[in-house]
Structure 1
Amino acid sequence: MPHVAMVLTPGFQFLALGIQATFELANLVTGDKFYSLGLYSAGGGPMLSSSGLPVPTAPLAESGPIDTLLLMAGLTPPAPQSAADLAALRTAAQTARRVAGLCTGAFLAAQMGLLDGKRATTHWVHAPRLRAAFPAVRVEEDAIFINEGNVWTSAGLSAGLDLGVALVEQDLGPEVARSVARRMVMHHRRAGGQSQHSELLQLGPSSDRIQKALMHARTHLTNLLSVEELAAVAALSPRQFSRAFRAETGQSPAKAVERLRLEAARLLLEDSRHSLETVARETGFIDLRRMREAFMRQYGQPPQALRRLARAG
């Protein structure tokens, strides 16, 4: 039975513990207690979260054989660990099949020397600090999660769920992983290389009507997505919709739709081998020329250049 050891450090954030749900649900989906779970710290005892609530932990040395070692920290990068604590973490990592640093837990992995010469990510806010503090680490600040051999790192706290599903998929296959994602009501399971930035989040509509129209656009990119179509989804007249949309998002519906198409196209380019023509068609651009012009406006590079960069990375 693979044992998942979740290691907490002072000031850890409770949301990081959400990753345990992916393993619990995997047990439920398979109808078998495939994983066992445990909460640990280097020395054991109560561990205070960032909100001041204590959580009991066992000493890491008493964990028994560890399959998956999960390193969890807080909303800010953890302080340098003591020599004794680092030694305990390194000992556990040496026998574990895989190690993952969730969000700022990547700093713990870096302190342990696990990321030297490897690609890694963390929350985009803290990526410059990780790069500066650990120059031997190849920091990629715009990835959801990264797998380098037996070492994994993930972005902001919710990205830990995406990483957890990926770990389940590695162990139990894509069907179980998809079932776990559905049970967690994950609207969209993000690939590791996907950008940490979401166009829907950045547009930030405040009303249900505009949010509904944007979700319709995101899931129907091959449609024309005219103002009339989106206004009908929002149950507004085209004039009312355009005015409300600009007030809530700061841009026109046409510009927002283009940004959603670009986000989807870039993900397809990075995570698939579809031809450029297929990517343009699947994301609703009229033709490859229109997609190329949109990429040049947004990214300053043509789509094929971004694909080469992604593959080189």
Structure 2
Amino acid sequence: MNERECAVGLDRRTEFVYRMMLRRRRWRPSELAAVLDTTEEWLGGVVAELREEGLVTASADDEGALRAVEPALALPALATRRFQDAQSTGLPGPLEVERLIALHERSVERPAEPLGAGSADEASALVERLVATVRREVVLLVPEHSAGSFEFSRHVAEAVLRREAVLRQVWSASFLHRPAAVEHARWLGAQGAAPCTLPHVPTRAVIVDGAVGVLFDAGGGARVLRGGSGLDALNGLADRLWDNSMEVRQATSPLPAPPSRPRRERVLRLLADGLTDDAIARRIGVSVRTVRNDVASTMVGLDARSRFQAGVRAAQMGLL
């Protein structure tokens, strides 16, 4: 089925499989096919669509298994890509996206105590949910390279940068000989978020807006810090490490300039800033009629009755 529904921007079968995958942390294709009472061949086609849309990724714990990317991170990214595509007709409905995210968030345990050891998938899911709330800054302290971990996920980095927050990463220099790490560093540099290095990074941690921290132990267990002396100490450590670090040299290698923002996104941002249609047209070098057409199509896509409502829903969807 290719028909796009008005819910979260997926066709019925693809959305159904995604929702099913959210019920467990990871699935092997044979297990998921059995639960869905279908063939692995049919499932493979749906999973390929989900991976292309950034809603499913490989498990970091079980080779050959898959996991659903957290909806708080994946669905706004999907909405942004659809919005940037002027030909797209499958813009997710803001209210449906918000409802699915809220439903999933309520089903996920949010412990203040240690999360347990060993699961890279659990760690990635936790970080995806936290990063989806960022307003100002995300800090990653990375003592070692681990393929498939959230520190080297483009989905996570893109979510931070899409919200125009700062992404600061301090890596241990010991793994810069690994081609995958160098490639990721160069990609980050092209996004204006080059990582920095030190000879030794003493701990693995994530900090979001200085208000929430996740501190990992050597066994992969994690503790969430929300205020208190522990978080203060972690913030202080991150600042000291950053101040003494050096930008990764490979990340500054010449790369093609990143593409400019699509016109519809620029129009929406300028509209949210309070500019008139005439001022927007002059700013981006198009006709007033083009601006008005972009505004009208955006309002339809966001199911908004006014420009103000369009701005509010765009912000809710992470488009601004």
TM bin, normalised by shorter chain, reads: under 0.3
Q: Highest relative contact order (Cα 8 Å, sep 6+), 1 or 2? A: 2
TM-score by length of 1: 0.26
TM-score by length of 2: 0.26
**Higher Rg:** 1
